[in-house]
Chains A and B, each alone.
Chain A
C-alpha cells in the first residue's frame, strides 16, 4: 500500500517527516518496503484490509502519535427514490448499494490524477478515477457501469451460469462457472463480483450515465473466484480479506461528492441499498487481568482506553475490565486476544519486560528417533562419510529406477518436471550429488544422507550412502578403489552403532545394483524381511545422470524405522575379560566358488564345541594352484574356555570334527594347516 503522506494529512495532524512516520508505524506492525519522498510503501499484513486505505493508515497514525482523527468528509446520506432496481440472489453478496449519476467523461484534474499516480494507480478518466480515489481513500472498492449499455437497467447479483463467459476489462474472455458470483443486468453478466468489471459496460467517452456500485461480498466467495480465474485485483484483494459492510453507502456518498467537486457529474435520485441482514456490532469482553497476563506487563487503564479509543473501539466499563464494541472495519478482531494485540502493538512490544518461563516439571526426553538420527550423523561423519542434503522431490526419470516395485508419489502442482515426484529412496539424490562433485574436480566421493523417503503407503526415515574413487589418498601409496565391501562395511557399522547387528544375503531383486554385487540386509538376531540393501550401482544409471566413466560406485540404504525405532543401548553389558589363554588354529580349504562364506561359518559353528569363541575369514584366493570353479578360503578359529586352559589335544579333536563336517557338507578339501 503506497501512502502519500500529504493525502493522509487531510485526516490527521501529524507534523512528523515521512521517515519518522514510517518508523513509528513500522513499530506498530506496518512493515515499510520503501520511502520515496512523500510516499511510504507499507506491507499490509493479510489481517488488516482496513489499512489498504489512506484513512485506515491515518487512524493508525492518529493512535501512534496520539492526535485526533478527522472524520471522513462525506458522512452525509443521500436520501431519495431508488434509482436502479437491485436484486440479490445469492448469500455471497451481503450488501449491494448503487447510485445513478449523470456524468461528463473527461480527464481528471491534476491534483486528483497526481494523488492516484503517487498511490500507484493508473489514471483512466475522471469517472473511473473517482471510484479508484474513493477506494484508496476509504478502502472500499467501487465500480462504475455505463448505464446506457445495460439491459434494464437493472442489477442482479447471482451465480454465473454454466458456460457463461465475460470479457473482463483486461480484455481476457473469462469462462465462468456456477461457483462464481457475478453482477448481471437483465440478460447477462456484466462484472465478476468483487473482482473485475466487463468491457461490455465499460465507461467510455460516450458514457452519459453511470451506475456506481458499492457492495460487500463474502471474502471466501471472492477469494475462491479470484483463485479459480487466476485474477487478482485491487478490489479482490480488499474483498477477500474482508471489506467494511457498513461502508458502501458512505463510500458512494463520497464518490458523488467528488463528482460534484471536480465537475465530473451529479447524482440522479437517491441510493438504492439492498442490505438483507444488517450486521450486528461485535462485542468482545476485555479483562484487565488478562491484558497483563498475556503481555507480561501492566498497561495502565488510561493507556488501554486511549489506544482502543483512538483505533475506533467503543469501550464500556465492566466489573473486571471493559466491554469493547468492535468497529465494522476491524474484521480481524473477534476475541479478547485480538484486543490485547491492539494494546500491545501501540503500547510497544519493546517496552514489555523480558522474563523467562519457569520450569516446574522435568523436561521430557528427546524423541528416540531424533536422538538416533543425531547420533547416526555424527557416527557416519566420524567414519569418513560426508553428509549431504538433497531435494525431497526429484525428476521422474531419476526416481523410477529406485521405485522398488511400488508406485511413485507424485506432486499434483510441481514447480517443474525436475521436482515432479517425491523420492522413493535417498539414493537417486546421492547419485546426482556424486555426479555433481565428480564433474567438479573431486574424484573420491563418500556421501550419506539421513531423511524421509516416500511410498504410496506413507513416509519412512532412511539412511543411504554412496562411495566412489580411492579408499584414501596419500603420497605413500595407493590404498585401492572402493568396492562392494566398503558399502557393506558401512551397513555393518550402522548396525553396530545402533546396537542392531546386520547380516547380508545375496539378492537379485534390487535392479539398481549390478547382479552378483547386491545384497539385502537383515537383522542378525530377529526375523522379518530386509531392512535395506547394499551393492554396486549399475553404471548405466550413473551414466544416465551425466557421468559416463565413473568407475565403481557402491552404496546402500537402510530403513531406520525398521532397523531401530530409537537408539538402542549397544551392549549394555560388558563381559569379564578371559582369565585363560585362547588357542588359535588356521584352516585353508578349497571350496566351491559359489558357496557363501556364511554357510562355511555356519557349518563350523554347528560342528564345533562351545569352546569355539570366534571364526573369522582372513583370506580368499582364486587363481594359480586353485582348481577351476573353486576358491581357497582361509579361516581363523579361536578356542577358549572360561574356566580352564584348553589342551592342544582337545582343540585338535575339535578341529578334526570341523574338518570332517566341512568335507561332508561342502566337499571342502583342506589345503594345509598353519601353526
Chain B
C-alpha cells in the first residue's frame, strides 16, 4: 500500500470518531496543519521521492488533501447544524409547575353529584351536623322507641349544644334527612333541593365502614309528583354519574320517612351484570335509598299531605367514590396520605 493510501485510511478512522466540533478541529489540525499536518508532511516528503514517481505521488497527495478538506468541512457543517444555540436549555428537565393542590376525592364526587342536580334546577342547601331529636328522628316519622332507630346507631352528646331554630342539639346527625325538615319548615312548596354533608353512626372502623361518612340528600315536593318522576330523575342521575347506557332497577325497601320506599341498583360495571366479586355475584350494585315522602313527614312540617306529594333520596358518597376510583378501603379517604390525594384529578 502506498503512503497516500495509508494516510487516507488513517484519516477516515480519525474522522469517524470525531463527533464534536472540537474533535473535528483536532482532526483538521492533525492532517492539514501548515506546520505539523500529516498531509503537509507527506507533500514535503514527495520532494525527495524519485522524479518518475514525483508527479503521480504529488497528484495523489493533492487529491487526498482536497478530499480531507472537503470531508472535514462537511463534518464541521453537519456538527455545527446540531450544536445548541447560545443560551440553550435542556428542555427535558422538569418545568417549574405552579403549585396546585387537589380537591379531596370526596369533595370531587360530592360536587359532581351537586353539579348533576344543579343542572336539573336543584338548590344546594346546608345544615347543622349536631341535631335535635325532632329534626333527626321525630319529624321523619321515627318517634321514640321506633324500631327503625336501630337502623342508625346514634352518637349522643354529653351536654346539649344550641342548634339553629332554637332547639338543643343532643346528637350527631345520622343522616342528612334532617335538612329536609329544616328546609320545609322554612319554605313553602315547590321544593327542589339537595343537601350534602357529613353524617355520623356508631359503626366500628373497617374497610367498608367509618363512623363518619358523607351523604347527599335530595327532596322534591310539588303538586303531582309521582314515583315515576322519582324514577326519571334518578335514572338521569345514574346515566350522568356512571354512563349513559347504564341499566338501573328499583327494588321496594323500607325507610320510615318514605312510602313507598325503594333502593336504586345499577348494573355492576365490573362484570356488566354477569356477577362478580364486586357485586357479590348479583350483577347489581346498590347506589341509594329513595321513596315518596311519607305523609307523616308532611304533617310534621305543616304541608298539606293531600295536596302535595314528593320524593326524597339519599346517596352515600364514599361508596360511590370507592367505585369511581377503584379502591377497596374506605379508610383511605380519611388518612389524607399525600401520596393518595395527589393521584386524583385537578
Residues of chain A at the chain B interface (Cβ within 8 Å):
26-29, 31, 45-48, 219-220, 223-224, 240-241, 293-297, 335-338, 340-341, 344-345, 349-350, 352-357, 359-361, 363-367, 369-370, 374, 377-378, 380-393, 409-415, 419, 422, 433, 436-437, 440-442, 445-448, 451-452, 454-459, 472, 474-476
In contact, A384 and B259 (Cβ under 8 angstroms): no
Contact (A357, B103) CB under 8 Å given A27-B251, A341-B260, A389-B336: no
Contacts of B107 in A (CB 8 A): 377, 387, 389
In contact, B336 and A447 (Cβ under 8 angstroms): yes
B53 CB within 8 Å of chain A: no
Contacts of B333 in A (CB 8 A): 389
Residues of chain B at the chain A interface (Cβ within 8 Å):
93-94, 96, 98-104, 106-107, 111, 114, 118, 121-126, 128-130, 144-145, 147-148, 150-151, 155-159, 161-163, 169, 172, 190, 192, 198, 200, 202-205, 211-212, 220, 222, 224-229, 231-233, 235-236, 249-254, 256, 259-263, 292, 294-296, 309, 333-339, 341-342, 346
Contacts of B295 in A (CB 8 A): 335-337
Q: Which residue of A lies closest to B259 (CB)?
A: A337
In contact, B156 and A448 (Cβ under 8 angstroms): no
In contact, A437 and B336 (Cβ under 8 angstroms): yes
- A377 to B107 CA separation, bound complex (whole angstroms): 9
Contact (A456, B253) CB under 8 Å given A383-B99, A392-B200, A442-B338: no
The minimal Cβ–Cβ distance linking A232 to chain B, given in whole angstroms, is 9
Q: B104 is contacted by which of A48, A387, A419, A442 (Cβ under 8 Å)?
A: A387
In contact, A46 and B148 (Cβ under 8 angstroms): yes
Give 7 A-B pairs besides A293-B309, A340-B259, A364-B192 with Cβ atoms closer than 8 angstroms. Answer: A47-B254, A354-B232, A359-B192, A360-B190, A393-B155, A419-B211, A440-B338
In contact, B249 and A350 (Cβ under 8 angstroms): yes
Contacts of B204 in A (CB 8 A): 415
The minimal Cβ–Cβ distance linking B330 to chain A, given in whole angstroms, is 12
In contact, A413 and B155 (Cβ under 8 angstroms): yes
Between A and B, 16 residue pairs with Cβ closer than 8 Å are A27-B252, A29-B251, A46-B148, A47-B256, A337-B295, A344-B260, A345-B260, A367-B124, A387-B107, A389-B333, A389-B334, A409-B158, A412-B156, A415-B205, A474-B94, A475-B94
In contact, B229 and A296 (Cβ under 8 angstroms): yes
- A374 to B341 CA separation, bound complex (whole angstroms): 18
The minimal Cβ–Cβ distance linking B121 to chain A, given in whole angstroms, is 4
Task: Determine chain B's interface SS by DSSP, over half rule.
Answer: mixed
Contacts of A378 in B (CB 8 A): 103
Q: Which residue of A lies closest to B225 (CB)?
A: A357
In contact, A433 and B157 (Cβ under 8 angstroms): no
Top-3 shortest CB links A-B: A296-B228, A384-B99, A296-B226
The minimal Cβ–Cβ distance linking B50 to chain A, given in whole angstroms, is 67
The minimal Cβ–Cβ distance linking B305 to chain A, given in whole angstroms, is 9
Contacts of B144 in A (CB 8 A): 220
In contact, B103 and A381 (Cβ under 8 angstroms): yes
In contact, B145 and A223 (Cβ under 8 angstroms): yes
In contact, A219 and B147 (Cβ under 8 angstroms): yes
- Best-surrounded residue of A361, A364, A409, A448 (most CB of chain B within 10 A): A364
In contact, A411 and B157 (Cβ under 8 angstroms): yes
- A451 to B233 CA separation, bound complex (whole angstroms): 29
Contacts of B250 in A (CB 8 A): 349-350
The minimal Cβ–Cβ distance linking A638 to chain B, given in whole angstroms, is 28
The minimal Cβ–Cβ distance linking B138 to chain A, given in whole angstroms, is 14
In contact, B226 and A294 (Cβ under 8 angstroms): yes
Contacts of B211 in A (CB 8 A): 391, 393, 415, 419
In contact, A387 and B233 (Cβ under 8 angstroms): no
Contact (A355, B158) CB under 8 Å given A293-B309, A415-B211: no
In contact, B334 and A344 (Cβ under 8 angstroms): no
- A241 to B224 CA separation, bound complex (whole angstroms): 32
Q: Which residue of B lies closest to A223 (CB)?
A: B145
The minimal Cβ–Cβ distance linking B282 to chain A, given in whole angstroms, is 8
The minimal Cβ–Cβ distance linking A187 to chain B, given in whole angstroms, is 30
Q: A409 is contacted by which of B161, B212, B229 (Cβ under 8 Å)?
A: B161
In contact, A412 and B158 (Cβ under 8 angstroms): yes
Contacts of B162 in A (CB 8 A): 457-458
In contact, B334 and A390 (Cβ under 8 angstroms): yes
In contact, B224 and A240 (Cβ under 8 angstroms): no
Q: Which residue of A lies closest to B231 (CB)?
A: A354
Contacts of A367 in B (CB 8 A): 123-126
Q: Which residue of B lies closest to A472 (CB)?
A: B99
